[in-house]
Structure 1
Amino acid sequence: MSSNFIKNTSKLLAGNAFGQIIGIIAIPIITRLYSVEVYGEFSSLLAISLILATFTTLSLHLAILIPKSEEEAIKIFRLCLSLTYVFCFFISVALYFFNEYVVSLLNIKSNTKIVFAIPLLVLSQSLYISFTYLGVRVKIFGEISTSKVLETISDRGIAILSGFGNFAFVGNLILARVAANVFAILYLFPILKRYKSRKKTTISNGFIFTKYKRYLQYNTPSMLLINSMLQLPVIIIAAYFSSIAAGLFAIANRLVNIPVSALGGAISQTFMQKIAEDKANDDMGKVKENTDIFFITLVAFLLIPFSVLSVVGDSLFVIVLGAKWADAGVLASFLSYFAMTTLLVQSFGGLFDVMNKQNIRLIFHIFNFIIRIGTLILCIYVDYDLAKTVLIYAVVSIFMNVIAMGLLLGSVQQVQSLISALTNNVMPLTFFHVLAAIIMSYFESILLTYSLIAILATSWFFIIGGMEKIKQFRK
Structure 2
Amino acid sequence: MAQAIPIAISPILTRLYSPEEFGRFALYMAVALIASVLVTGRYELAILLPRQDRDALHIAALAMALSIAISAVLLLVVLFLAQPIAVLLGDAALAPWLYWVPASTLLLGLYQSLNYWSNRKAQYKRLAISRTVQSGSAALAQLGSGYAGSGAVGLVGGQITGQVLATSVLARLIWREDHGLIRTLRPLRSVALAKKYINFPKYLIVAHGFNTASGQMPVLLLSALFNTTAAGFFTLTQRVMAAPMALVAGALGDVFRQEASQAYMRQGQCKAIYQKTFKRLLLISIVPFTIFFFVAPALFAWMFGEQWRVAGEYAQILTPMAFLQFITSPLSSMFMLAEKQKIDLLWQICLLVLVVASFFSGEFFSNEKIALTIFSGSYCLMYGINGIVSYLLAIGRWMAK
Residue in structure 2 matching 1:187, options 166, 169, 175: 169
Residue in structure 2 matching 1:395, options 366, 371, 377: 377
Partner of residue 261, structure 1: 246
Residue in structure 1 matching 2:198, options 210, 213, 219: 213
> Is the partner of 2:51 in helix, strand or coil?
coil
Partner of residue 437, structure 1: none
Q: Return the letter of the residue paired with 1:339.
A: A
Partner of residue 127, structure 2: 144
Residue in structure 2 matching 1:60, options 12, 31, 43: 43
Distance 1:301 1:70 in 2: 33
Question: Structure 1 regions of 5+ residues with no counterpart?
Answer: 1-15, 416-475
1:2-401 to structure 2, matched below 5 A, reads: 23-24=8-9, 26=10, 28-108=11-91, 110=93, 112-167=95-150, 169-190=151-172, 191-193=174-176, 194-196=178-180, 198-201=183-186, 203-282=188-267, 284=269, 287-380=270-363, 382-401=364-383
Of structures 1 and 2, the larger Rg is shown by: 1
Q: Flag the 1:91–1:156 CA change in 2: closer, same or farther, 3 A.
A: same
- Could you tell me how far 1:108 is from its partner in structure 2? 2.8
Asked whether the equivalents of residues 268 and 349 of structure 1 are also in contact (C-alpha less than 8 Å), the reply is: no
Matched residue count: 390
Q: Flag the 1:414–1:303 CA change in 2: closer, same or farther, 3 A.
A: farther
Structure 1 stretches of at least 4 aligned residues deviating more than 4 Å after TM superposition: none
Greater mean alpha carbon deviation, residues 314-323 or residues 94-103: 94-103
> Is the partner of 2:394 in helix, strand or coil?
coil
Asked whether the equivalents of residues 292 and 414 of structure 1 are also in contact (C-alpha less than 8 Å), the reply is: no
Distance 2:55 2:165 in 1: 27
Q: Deviations over 1:415-442 (max 9, x none)?
A: 9xxxxxxxxxxxxxxxxxxxxxxxxxxx
Q: Flag the 1:293–1:132 CA change in 2: closer, same or farther, 3 A.
A: closer
Asked whether the equivalents of residues 345 and 404 of structure 1 are also in contact (C-alpha less than 8 Å), the reply is: yes
Distance 1:365 1:61 in 2: 19
Distance 2:252 2:83 in 1: 41
Q: Flag the 1:149–1:360 CA change in 2: closer, same or farther, 3 A.
A: same
Q: Flag the 1:112–1:365 CA change in 2: closer, same or farther, 3 A.
A: closer
Distance 1:171 1:164 in 2: 13
Question: Structure 2 regions of 5+ residues with no counterpart?
Answer: none
Greater mean alpha carbon deviation, residues 272-281 or residues 193-202: 193-202
Greater mean alpha carbon deviation, residues 244-253 or residues 90-99: 90-99
Distance 1:317 1:202 in 2: 51
> Is the partner of 2:232 in helix, strand or coil?
helix
Distance 2:294 2:217 in 1: 26
Distance 2:395 2:208 in 1: 24
Distance 2:225 2:268 in 1: 51
Asked whether the equivalents of residues 75 and 203 of structure 1 are also in contact (C-alpha less than 8 Å), the reply is: no
Distance 1:199 1:252 in 2: 46
Asked whether the equivalents of residues 107 and 242 of structure 1 are also in contact (C-alpha less than 8 Å), the reply is: no
TM-score (norm 2): 0.91
- Could you tell me how far 1:111 is from its partner in structure 2? 5.6
- Could you tell me how far 1:244 is from its partner in structure 2? 0.8
Asked whether the equivalents of residues 298 and 312 of structure 2 are also in contact (C-alpha less than 8 Å), the reply is: yes
> Is the partner of 1:356 in helix, strand or coil?
coil
Q: Deviations over 1:56-84 (max 9, x none)?
A: 11110111222222332222112111111
- Could you tell me how far 1:140 is from its partner in structure 2? 2.1
- Could you tell me how far 1:299 is from its partner in structure 2? 2.0
Q: Return the letter of the residue paired with 2:206.
A: P
- Could you tell me how far 1:196 is from its partner in structure 2? 4.8
- Could you tell me how far 1:29 is from its partner in structure 2? 0.1
- Could you tell me how far 1:109 is from its partner in structure 2? 5.8
Asked whether the equivalents of residues 334 and 393 of structure 2 are also in contact (C-alpha less than 8 Å), the reply is: yes
Q: Does 1:407 align with 2:389?
A: yes
Distance 2:259 2:94 in 1: 47
Q: Deviations over 1:267-313 (max 9, x none)?
A: 222201101111222263xx212212331342243122112111111
TM-score (norm 1): 0.78
Greater mean alpha carbon deviation, residues 236-245 or residues 32-41: 236-245
Q: Flag the 1:279–1:244 CA change in 2: closer, same or farther, 3 A.
A: same
Distance 1:136 1:412 in 2: 19
Q: Return the letter of the residue paired with 2:195.
A: T
Q: Return the letter of the residue paired with 1:150.
A: V
Q: Deviations over 1:308-360 (max 9, x none)?
A: 11111111111111111111111010011111111222110111122222221
- Could you tell me how far 1:263 is from its partner in structure 2? 2.5
- Could you tell me how far 1:43 is from its partner in structure 2? 0.7
- Could you tell me how far 1:143 is from its partner in structure 2? 1.8
Q: Deviations over 1:124-165 (max 9, x none)?
A: 222111111122223321121111101111000111111122
